[in-house]
Every structure is written in structure tokens, then in C-alpha cells.
A and B are shown apart, each in its own frame.
Chain A
Amino acid sequence: MKQVLEGSMAIADGVRMAEPHVISAYPITPQTHIVEHLSQMVADGDLKAEFIMVESEHSAASVVLGASACGVRTYTATAAQGLLYMEEVIYNIAGMRLPVVMTLANRAISAPINIWNDMQDAMAIRDTGAIMLVAENNQEAYDMHIQAFKIAENRDVMLPVIVNVDGFVLTHTFEVVETIDGIDKVREYLPPINMEYKLDVENPYSFGTLGEPSVYMESRYNMYNAMKYSAKTITDAANEFNDMFGRFYGGLTDTYKMDDAQTVIVAMGSVLGTIKDVVDELRESGKKIGVLKVRSFRPFPEEEIVDALKNVKNVIVIEKAICPGKGGILSVEIRDSLFKHKINTVNVNGYTIGLGGRDITPKNIKDLVERAEKEENVDGEFIGLSQQYL
């Protein structure tokens, strides 16, 4: 059924369709509407779940950790500072191989305090061992949450999945979203959770034991391998979703107008909408330009990216994050991927833009397209600074 839904409502409804058993959260803008909607669904009896509103994000993540270890389906959501506060627990969830699903309403990191959108929070947890997917619009956010549970709970994966949605830009914006009619089809797509190891009095296991130097590395290696393997699971989950519900946004990546493209813009999340509009316009004026969307940031789709970019002249990486002391993050990983595949003919320029919710305009994008053809190896340069505040 097609409905006009706020992003947060679309996300909450996607989560409802996945039927999580235990939800725990602590309020933080711009995540709040998601957990408000979910708690209302529980209050109205539309979602049968234990909803635990806790005293901190650290405990929210810990509650879903404990519940997940018992073998039930779990969900939480947060943003920015809340994410940093739960980071320790996210590492722990991944290390214990618990399939928690979480929404990250991407928001800037303090200081200065700023509640608006960018992706610096996501970049701060990229090495936790959590799978990190990024939604482009509310429809994809709805669908991606259902897929996320399927990916997380795959026996060969068993890792937390974080669905990134741009704070405000998606969470607080109304769009037409096609929701799934009837839960039976979703149940067919997403079978009941069935964990091999869990806290069960009939079959007791010890979780989170001490890993001495003789075993610690192997434990991390197994987790690292599961993350690598998850690339296949993410793609499969997208394809199966397409077969069943007729919607597809790519597996790990997606391409837009890439045939014969000489210049390609790479980005993640909602900014892709603006970028595609600009590309449409430039294509009309005869420019050979396309878009590469990164849908899975972890695992990093190295092969797909190299495959898409190897014959391209100029690559423009648009990034709502910065690595102080280095520069770009996505741009550096793309350059590294090409370097590893001995491709040195692609000019990769990375730009940092839209931090703390600053608008990214079509003109910004067009300017970068013009610049990229004249520049080489730009790394995380800040775009659109006001000279008066420097």
C-alpha cells in the first residue's frame, strides 16, 4: 500500500514488520520519532514486543545484547553522541556474534553541539565489526530494515547490522512509501530467528569468556571472516527481496547512468538524490557522467567499486565526514582499492561537504564536477566554508 510517511514512521513500520521481540532505546534527536512510533505500536498492541526504555544508550545496547544472547530478535536505535556512548557495547555485540539490528539516525558529533545531519557518527564506529548499510530514501530505509534482520541472523554471519539513515533529511521528511500488505510475506522472507548458541537453562553456555593471547586472535579472525562473508548475504538479501516484493536498490553498491561515463560521483545516503538530479541535468547537456552509490559501507565493497570505476577518468567522492589528521575516509578507501588492483589511471578527488546539516546544493555538486577535471588527488577538502568564521 502506498502511503505518505515520515521517514521515522517508515523505519518504525519496517521494524514492526520484522517483529522484533525486545526493543530498547534511549531518546536522542533525530532518532526520537522512530522509538516514539515503536512504543506507540507496542502500546496499541500492533507489535508484540518487550519495549524497555532505559536510562542511557549504553544500557540500551546492553539490554538488546542480553536479550539477543537469549535467542530473541532485538532492535535499538540511536544517533551521534548516543552512538559514541554505546560504541563499547557495539564492539562487544559484534565480538559475541549477536544479531542485533540498529538504526543510526546520522547526526553530527559534538563539539560544537549540533543535532543536524552528517555521517561523522557512522565513521566513528566503522571498525566495531557491525555491518553498516546506508539508505538513500525512506522507501529504501523501510525495506532495508527488513533485510537487515535477515542478514544479521544468517548463521554464517551472526553480526549486528546498523542501518544508517540521514537524520532529519530522511527521519523527519515525508515521502511516498509503499508498505508491505500483510505480514505473512515478510515472515516468508524473514523466517523466525533460530540461534545455535544462546542462554538456555536446558543447554547452558558461557558467553563473553576470557580470551587469552592463545585464542583471542582466532576469535577476531572468525568475526573478520564473517564480515567478509556477509557481502554475499547482503546481496542475496537484496535479490530475494526483489524477487518477493519487487524492489531493488543494488546489493553492496548501485550504479546510475554509468554506461560510457567518464566522470563518476561516489556517495552514500540521501545526498544521492541531489546528485542524481545534477547528473540528469549534466547528461542532458551531453556530459558523460554517472553515479556510484555505496549501499554497504561495511563490509566495504572493494571489488564492486573497482569494477565500476576502473575505466573512469575522474571520480568525485562526496563525503559528509572527515578524518582529522588525514582527510577523506570513503575517498581514501576507494583510492586504496584502486591502488591494490594496480589501477593508476583514475583521478580520485575527495571532498568534505555538508557537515553539521549544512545544505548540499546542486550548485555545490556542479562546481565539484568542474573542479574535479582540473584537480588531482584532493583529499577531504572542506567545501562551502564561510570565510568570516575561520
Chain B
Amino acid sequence: MLTKEETHNELFTMGHTGCSGCAQSMSVKLIMEILGKNTIATSATGCLEVFSTRWPESSWKIPWIHSLFENSAAVASGVEAALKYMGKKDGITVIAQGGDGGTADIGLQALSGMFERNHDVLYICYDNGAYMNTGYQRSGLTPFDAYTTTSPSGKESFGNNRPKKYMPEIAMAHRIPYTAVSSAGYPIDLQKKVKKAMTIKGAKYLQVDVPCVPGWKYEPKYSVRLAQLAVQTGLYPLFEAEYDKIISVKKISKKVPVEEYLKLQGRFKHLFKDEAGRAEIEKIQKMADENIERYGLM
């Protein structure tokens, strides 16, 4: 549990233009509570940047910089280098933020560079599984069979025909000191991982599952529920790793069938139309089961 002194409210303030039920803005608020005011943040182009910094307004009460889509990690590397030069690095946490596209697609090179050089930066990927800011186009982290505007379902298609890129494993392959996966559905887990990351020197990667109301097409009240179901089905394993070794996983007490997760979301509704769709749901169930096996979730 966090004491009152350990929380620093209002560093990411209300008044932004995020959607009702936005799990990303919820997560940012939770993360900022832990990070505190001695933090400098970079953001990639994306929802977060757009909805939190409409000039002359800004929701950030910490120093914050957005440059471009693909360079959040490189800009943060520069911030860290400047702090090092000034001898201020020890008291200040540097975070870099991006969406799934800004992280795992267009920003992957800059992120890999930041990992390899082991900058003392916590990189946070808010994963909502598509390019939501531009209108729900597929990314490398879009889940299998999800409808997006560029992976639509149709007579010849069940939606996105590839599984999600294993981005946390890509981070681990760099042998960075800390990699973690968390979820907007588990605030305590999320805050614990941020807190731990702050104690580790070097490059850290945190990926957070953040359901997206308009992109996933569900009622805003289900944001937290969906994030929890993603974990309880095995589709979104939460774990921590040090270097290339997984050191902890969030166990599933009672496995939930993937159908329970999929049926709440418009992006999967085409799977519930006919027998062929049912077969696809079976494939997704298999992926969840493989995750449970692979990460030892039960």
C-alpha cells in the first residue's frame, strides 16, 4: 500500500480531452501518482499528446516534451544525457511514453537504440492495440482477428490476420535490467511495477494494456472489466523480467474463456456471426491457453 506521502496527486490533471472511459488517461494518472514531480516525460505523437496538450492548455504539471511519432525514446535519451551532464540525473526520473504504434512499429528503432545504450529511462508503452488516434488502423500490436479500419472483417477476412508482436520479449532480448507488463485493470500491480522501475538504474520497459472505448467499440463502463478479462483469459499475461529472465507472473485464479472477453467488444463481433467465426474464436482460445502454459499463469 502507498502512504499519502508517497502519492503526488494532480501531476496529470483533469480537463484534458480524453474519451470518457479512456484507460490510457487512467493509467497515466496512476503512474504519475508514483513518479512524482521530479520527473521529466517525453511523449510520442498519439492520443495522449493530442488530448493532454492543446495549447495553451496542458494537463502536465511536470516538464513534458513531445517531438515526433517515432523518437520518444531518442528524445528521452537526450534528456537523460543532458541531466547527466548537469549532474542532476540522480534526483530525476526520465520517462518516455508512446502508444503501441509509436513503440512497436515506427518507434522501434529509436527504442532499440535507447535499450542498447542502456539509458536510465523508463519507457512506457500504452498498448491499445491499434492506431486509435488516427481512427483505429492496425498496428504491430493489434490482436489476432480484431477489426480495425485497415484490417476490416469481410467476406474474405476475419480482421487482423496476425497475432500481436511479442514486444516485451523484444525488450528482454536487449538484456535491459527491467521489463514489465501491466494493465489498467490492475492499478496496484501497475503502481508497484512503476515503483520498482524507479529503483532500477538503466533502461526499463513497461507495457500497459489500455482498453480503448471507440477503437474496441464497447461501453465506457467496461474499460476496467475488459482489462481484467484480458488478463484472466490469458490473452494479456502480466509479468516482470530482469534482463532476459522472467521473475514474476500474475497468476490467474480462475481461467475465463476468451469468448467472455471478445463478446463485449465490437471489434470482434464478426466472430460471433457463424460457424467459421466460432472456429476463429477457438484459435484465439488456443493462443490464450498457450500463453497460460508459456508464462505459467496457473
Contacts and interface: CB of A to CB of B under 8 A. Distances in A.
Given A52-B81, A201-B38, A65 B75 contact: yes
A58 B107 CA distance: 11
Nearest to B71: A62
Interface in B195-252: none
B86 A70 contact: yes
A50 to B, nearest CB: 4
Interface in B60-109: 60-68, 70-71, 74-79, 81-86, 92, 109
Nearest to B51: A210
Given A70-B79, A72-B86, A201-B40, A52 B66 contact: no
Given A50-B82, A67-B82, A204 B54 contact: no
A22 B85 CA distance: 7
Contacts of B84: 50
A199 interface: yes
Given A22-B85, A62-B67, A70-B82, A209 B55 contact: yes
Interface string A307-340: 0000000000000000000000000000000000
A59 B66 contact: no
A157 B40 CA distance: 26
B222 to A, nearest CB: 28
Interface string B47-61: 001100111101011
Contacts of B282: none
In this complex, the interface size class of chain A, counting residues with CB under 8 Å from chain B, is 35 or more
Interface string A195-228: 0001111001111111110010000000000000
Given A59-B113, A66-B76, A92-B68, A205 B82 contact: no
Contact of B49 (A52, A64, A88, A210): A210
Contact of B63 (A62, A199, A209): A199
Interface string A11-45: 00000000001101000000000000000000000
Contacts of A71: 82
Nearest to A56: B109
Interface string A63-97: 11111111110100000000000001100100010
Given A70-B86, A199-B40, A52 B58 contact: no
Contact of B74 (A66, A72, A200): A66
B78 A66 contact: yes
Contacts of B109: 55-56, 58-59
27 contacts: A21-B85, A22-B78, A52-B78, A55-B109, A55-B116, A56-B110, A58-B71, A58-B109, A62-B71, A65-B67, A65-B78, A67-B79, A67-B81, A67-B82, A69-B65, A70-B82, A89-B68, A201-B40, A204-B64, A206-B58, A206-B64, A207-B64, A208-B65, A208-B66, A209-B54, A209-B55, A211-B55
Name the 6 nearest CB pairs between A and B, nearest first. Answer: A66-B78, A62-B74, A55-B113, A70-B82, A66-B75, A62-B71
Interface of B: 37-40, 42, 49-50, 53-56, 58, 60-68, 70-71, 74-79, 81-86, 92, 109-110, 112-113, 116-117
